[in-house]
């Protein structure tokens, strides 16, 4: 994003924080959905931190709670769901203390923490022009007038590579292609120079080459406003390329966390190992047999106290069956933790 | 299965050298109509001159981005569309112009597995009757006992328990539904299965189960050929004996997976390969990333000459006018690019 116009500096937020300062701390977050069949424990007590300007990957399969956890942080959970416990500390305040529709939360959403969703068609309002939707945040959060916000919106669209941006402001979402719509989403996501962007499967619905274009674009946009990025995805390749730290989620809990290299070269949870072995890789010799993870993910309504991965685990023992699911155990040093007895002991002994 | 992939592939293709499928300059244009009289105002050139052939037992991967025509090629082969021009020879006979009645005995030999395991199964039919229907339609069973036995056999083949026969599609998970789809495809004892994005809708851990199932079925039934249509290059590379890269209705490059990865020639193939992330941070760090400009143009009004020229980093003046055709560069490798001498 260019700050070329003199007016731009007026609303440019200066950031001077070093890369290692903590930006967001989530502790024991719990979100449940109260449906007829029972209580779905979608997010079952997760704790994590995001540092300033850091790129963090949250990886897991559908239904593991990765998206719900992010929506909970933003207080965007709708009925029958509810955040039932935990704290979300951001810039000195606990976001969960605020009312979901209150002014405090609204001043954070879109301005300090923004979200980029997977489905650009459903997350853009089809009956409002792109310009309307882009300027809305600018007017609301940065107090710009109509004219200022229009020119800033055009600048933003240009910065995400939309040709003849000024005229396209008056177009509706359906007049853009899928890739272009996602570019608009990125422009909206970074429009107020947020401290953190949560991208929920940002490129899953797109083609390979468009995916590559947009990931690079998103990274450079967020980099230029010095924000942090939370990349929620099931694509291990994408996190291998971009993420500095990774959280692996399964059945509503974080089962392993560590640096990118910890996760890929020293995986310490059987589920992580399973994921890595089950994907075909572009660079491998032909004919390697994939090792699928047998079975299916557990039903989140009646979760036993023991390890939720137990029924599918290749390394399970009698102890895993009888004992409770352990908390995250530190393994081989700095910040690498796993929620598995067997692997942790194997690594630490 | 621990057999060496190279020898099994040789064994599979050596059973007979006959081509199971030969496609010659296939074109499929869809009309764009407008107004009350549905006047034709244009054409979508979904497939615009595709030529390839497949040996018996071979798996051909078709990759490309949405709108490149890979699905349309598949649908023309199973006669869901009547092609505008070109021939499709299945085991030596041209099926593109055949009458439906003549084609009927061949229909069971070409089966399809669809992407969406939710939409491609009739929600009101039990799993057993979905799988058994082709047996009845093609009169492949003589008695009820014979039918039950065959359906159970098909269930076992795809790793489903026979106790699930009476359940309805909504009672199954995505992976199980895809297994039902595969069992249905196998019912007619086909020699060619068109797999249209069979694993794209599934989770990573389930994807591997289905890919392994498809590989096992191929090893078990000698002479079974797949056309594997997908946008995920890693998956296609894993399962295919040869890969055709498509862009705007044409094949730009066709070769073996090893050669494609080691020696991609077409600029589009190179960009496509570089866009795929490898789950390995060290390798990712060292990989060159070619980011293409712009988007895939509309097939209604495709660019002149080589359709890739507006986005090609190596395009020359000649690329604007001349349409390159597939040229062999040796090593079972063909490329359609004017830059290749």
User: Helix, strand or coil for residue B320?
Assistant: helix
* Burial readout B224-252 (b: 16 or more C-beta within 10 A, e: otherwise): bbbbbbbbbbbbbbbbbbbbbbbbbbbbb
Please give the DSSP secondary-structure letter assigned to residue A232.
Answer: E
Omega before A80 within 30 of 0, i.e. cis? yes
For residue A273, the model assigns a pLDDT of: 94
Q: What is the pLDDT of residue A6?
A: 40
Cβ–Cβ < 8 Å for A62, A84: no
A209 vs B292: CB contact, 8 Å cut-off? yes
**Do the Cβ atoms of B277 and A241 come within 8 Å?**
yes
Kindly state the tokens that stand for B243. 């890969």
Residues in chain A: 349
> A interface mutation test: which of B2, B68, B279 has the most A CBs within 10 A?
B279
Task: Identify the pLDDT of residue A349.
Answer: 66
**pLDDT, tens digit (0-9, with 9 covering 90-100), for A231-275:** 999 889 999 999 999 999 999 999 999 999 999 999 999 999 999
**Under CATH, which number does the domain A8-243 receive?**
3.40.50.300
Looking at residue B315, what DSSP letter applies? -
Neighbours of B184 (CB within 10 A): 23
More reliable by pLDDT, A344 or B49 = B49
In angstroms, what separates the C-alpha of B287 from chain A's closest C-alpha?
10
- Substitution target in A59, A286, A314 with the highest count of B β-carbons within 10 Å is A286
Q: Which residue of A has its CA nearest to B276?
A: A208
Sort out which chain A residues have CB atoms less than 8 A from B258's CB and list them: 286
Collapsing DSSP to helix, strand or coil, A228 comes out as: strand
CA–CA distance, B183 with B168 (Å, rounded to integer): 15
Per-residue pLDDT, averaged over A82-111, amounts to 92
Domain ranges of chain A: 8-243, 248-282+290-348
pLDDT at A112 over 70: yes
Interface of A with B in 283-322 (CB under 8 A): 283, 286-294, 296-297
CA–CA min distance B164, chain A (Å): 16
Mutant choice from B281, B285, B300, B312 vs A, greatest count of A C-beta within 10 A: B281
Which chain A residues in 94-153 lie under 8 Å from chain B, judged by CB atoms?
Answer: none
Please answer yes or no on whether A237 and B1 come within 8 Å at the CB atom.
Answer: no
C-alpha dist (Å) from residue B191 to B21, B136, B147 = 10, 19, 21
State the average pLDDT over residues B255-279: 92
Give chain B positions within 8 Å (CB) of A62.
203
Between A67 and B288, residue with greater pLDDT: A67
Instruction: List beta partners, residue B255.
Output: B243
In Å, what is the CA distance from A152 to each residue of A343, B75, B205? 52, 47, 44
What pLDDT shows up at residue A16? 42
- Given its phi and psi angles, is residue A340 left (phi above 0), alpha (psi -120 to 50 degrees) or beta? beta
CB under 8 A, 24+ apart: contacts of B302-306: B302/B45, B302/B48, B302/B248, B302/B249, B306/B336, B306/B337, B306/B338
What chain A residue is nearest to B174 in terms of C-alpha separation?
A296
- Cα nearest neighbour of A260 on chain B: B281
Average pLDDT over residues B298-319: 90
Q: Is pLDDT of A27 > 50?
A: yes
Chain A partners within 8 Å of B283 (Cβ): 283
Distances (CA, A) of B152 to A154, B128, B155, B221, B228: 62, 8, 5, 18, 26
Asked whether the predicted pLDDT for residue B336 surpasses 70, the reply is yes
> CB distance A240–B279 less than 8 Å?
yes
Fold (CATH) for B5-109+190-335: Rossmann fold (3.40.50)
Contacts of B158 (CB under 8 A, 6+ apart): B179, B180, B182, B183, B186, B213, B217
Residue B281 has pLDDT above 80, yes or no: yes
Interface of A with B in 248-287 (CB under 8 A): 260-261, 264-265, 274-276, 278-283, 286-287
Q: Whole-angstrom Cα distance, residue A44 to residue A250?
A: 10
- Which of A1-5, A285-289, B71-75 is most confident? B71-75
Contacts of B284 in chain A (CB under 8 A): 237, 240-241
Contact at CB, B211 and A290, closer than 8 angstroms: yes
Residues 6 or more apart from B285 whose CB is under 8 A from it?
A: none
**Model pTM greater than 0.95?**
no
pLDDT band at A26 (very low <50, low <70, confident <90, very high): very high
Verify whether the Cβ–Cβ distance A278 to B208 is below 8 Å. Answer: yes
pLDDT at B117: 77
Which residue from A minimizes the CA distance to B66? A207
Rounded-to-integer distance, Cα A96 and Cα A91, Å: 13
Q: What is the pLDDT of residues A59-95, one digit of tens each?
A: 998 889 999 999 999 999 998 999 999 999 999 999 9
Token digits of residue A333: 């040093």
Does position A285 have pLDDT exceeding 90, yes or no?
no
CA distance A11 to chain B (A): 31
pLDDT band at A299 (very low <50, low <70, confident <90, very high): confident
User: pLDDT tens digits for B171-198?
Assistant: 998 889 999 999 999 999 999 999 999 9
Neighbours of A287 (CB within 10 A): 14
CB-closest option in A234, A240, A280 to B234: A280
Which tens digits make up the pLDDT trace of A177-210?
888 888 899 899 989 999 999 999 887 777 778 8
- Model confidence pLDDT, tens digit, residues A316-339: 888 888 889 989 999 887 889 999
Q: Give the tokens for residue B167.
A: 């359940």
- B239 neighbourhood in chain A, CB within 8 Å: 280
Q: Token pair 């060292």 is at which residue?
A: B286
Burial bucket for residue B93 (CB in 10 Å: 0-12, 13-18, 19+): exposed
Q: Which two tokens stand for residue B215?
A: 């590989």
| Residues forming a β-bridge with A65 | none
- Choice among A123-127, B15-19, B252-256 with the minimum mean pLDDT: B15-19
Question: What confidence score (pLDDT) does residue A118 get?
Answer: 78
The pLDDT of residue B17: 54
Residue A317: C-alpha distances to residues A267, A306, A320, A342, B151 (Å): 19, 12, 5, 8, 37
Per DSSP, which regions of B187-287 are E strands? 192-196, 225-230, 242-247, 250-255
Q: Please, what's the b/e burial string for B26-41 (b: 16 or more CB within 10 A of its CB; e: otherwise)? A: bbbbbeeeeeeeeeee
Per-residue pLDDT band for B1 (boundaries 50, 70, 90) equals very low
Record the tokens describing residue A155, joined without a space: 């600048």
Interchain CB distance below 8 Å, B5 and A287: yes
pLDDT at residue number A304: 82
* Range of weakest confidence among A3-17, A54-68, A215-229, B179-193: A3-17
Q: How far is CA B312 from CA A209, B70, B280, in A?
A: 13, 21, 28
A45 or A212, which is more confident? A45
Query: Angle, to 10 degrees, between the axis of helix B174-187 and the axis of helix B144-157?
Result: 130
Q: Are B209 and A275 within 8 A, CB to CB?
A: no
The predicted structure's pLDDT at residue A120? 67
């Amino acid at each position: 994003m260019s700050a070329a116009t003199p007016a731009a500096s007026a609303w440019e937020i200066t950031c001077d924080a070093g890369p290692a300062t903590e930006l967001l701390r989530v502790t024991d977050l719990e979100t449940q959905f109260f449906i007829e069949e029972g209580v779905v424990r979608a997010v079952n007590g997760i704790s994590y931190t995001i540092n300033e300007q850091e790129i963090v990957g949250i990886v897991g399969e559908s239904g593991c709670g990765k998206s719900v956890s992010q929506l909970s942080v933003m207080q965007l959970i709708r009925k029958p769901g509810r955040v039932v416990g935990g704290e979300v500390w951001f810039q000195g305040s606990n976001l969960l203390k605020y009312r979901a529709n209150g002014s405090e939360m609204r001043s954070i959403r879109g301005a300090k923490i923004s979200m980029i969703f997977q489905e650009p068609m459903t997350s853009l309002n089809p009956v409002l022009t792109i310009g309307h939707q882009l300027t809305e945040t600018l007017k609301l959060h940065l107090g710009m007038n109509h004219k200022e916000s229009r020119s800033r919106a055009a600048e933003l669209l240009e910065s995400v590579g939309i040709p003849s941006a000024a005229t396209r402001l008056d177009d509706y979402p359906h007049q853009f292609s899928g890739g272009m719509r996602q570019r608009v989403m990125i422009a909206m996501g970074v429009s107020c120079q947020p401290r953190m962007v949560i991208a929920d499967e940002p490129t899953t619905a797109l083609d390979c080459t468009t995916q590559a274009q947009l990931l690079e674009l998103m990274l450079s946009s967020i980099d230029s406003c010095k924000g942090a990025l939370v990349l929620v995805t099931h694509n291990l390749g994408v996190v291998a390329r971009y993420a500095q730290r990774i959280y692996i989620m399964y059945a509503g809990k974080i089962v392993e966390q560590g640096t990118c290299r910890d996760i890929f070269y020293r995986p310490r949870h059987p589920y992580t190992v399973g994921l890595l072995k089950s994907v075909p890789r572009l660079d491998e010799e032909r004919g390697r047999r994939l090792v699928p993870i047998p079975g299916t993910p557990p039903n989140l309504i009646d979760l036993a106290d023991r390890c939720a991965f137990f029924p599918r685990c290749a390394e399970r023992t009698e102890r895993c069956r009888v004992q409770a699911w352990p908390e995250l155990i530190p393994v081989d040093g700095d910040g690498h933790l796993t929620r598995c007895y067997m692997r942790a002991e194997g690594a630490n002994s | 299965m621990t057999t060496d992939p190279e020898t099994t592939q040789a064994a599979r293709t050596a059973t007979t050298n006959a081509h199971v499928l030969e496609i010659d300059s296939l074109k499929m244009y869809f009309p764009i109509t407008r107004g009350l009289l549905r006047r034709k105002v244009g054409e979508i050139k979904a497939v615009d001159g595709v030529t390839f052939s497949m040996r018996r037992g071979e798996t051909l991967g078709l990759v490309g981005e949405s709108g490149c025509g890979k699905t349309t090629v598949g649908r023309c082969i199973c006669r869901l569309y009547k092609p505008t021009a070109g021939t499709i020879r299945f085991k030596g006979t041209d099926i593109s112009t055949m009458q439906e009645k003549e084609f009927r005995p061949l229909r069971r030999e070409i089966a399809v597995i669809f992407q969406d395991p939710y939409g491609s199964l009739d929600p009101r039919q039990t799993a057993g009757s979905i799988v058994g229907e082709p047996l009845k339609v093609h009169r492949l069973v003589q008695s009820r006992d014979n039918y039950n036995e065959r359906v159970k056999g098909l269930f076992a083949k795809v790793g489903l328990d026979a106790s699930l026969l009476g359940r309805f599609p909504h009672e199954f998970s995505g992976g199980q539904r895809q297994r039902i789809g595969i069992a249905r495809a196998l019912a007619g004892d086909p020699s060619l299965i068109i797999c249209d994005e069979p694993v794209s809708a599934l989770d990573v851990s389930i994807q591997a189960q289905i890919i392994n199932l498809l590989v096992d079925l191929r090893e078990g039934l000698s002479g079974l050929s797949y056309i594997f249509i997908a946008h995920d290059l890693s998956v296609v590379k894993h399962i295919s004996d040869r890969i055709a890269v498509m862009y705007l209705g044409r094949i730009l490059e066709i070769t073996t997976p090893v050669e494609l990865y080691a020696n991609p020639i077409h600029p589009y193939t190179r960009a496509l390969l570089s866009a795929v992330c490898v789950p390995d941070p060290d390798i990712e760090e060292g990989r060159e990333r070619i980011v293409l400009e712009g988007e895939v143009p509309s097939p209604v009004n495709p660019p002149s000459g080589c359709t890739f020229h507006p986005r090609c980093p190596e395009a020359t003046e000649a690329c604007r006018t001349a349409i390159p055709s597939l040229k062999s560069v040796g090593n079972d490798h063909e490329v359609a690019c004017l830059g290749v001498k």
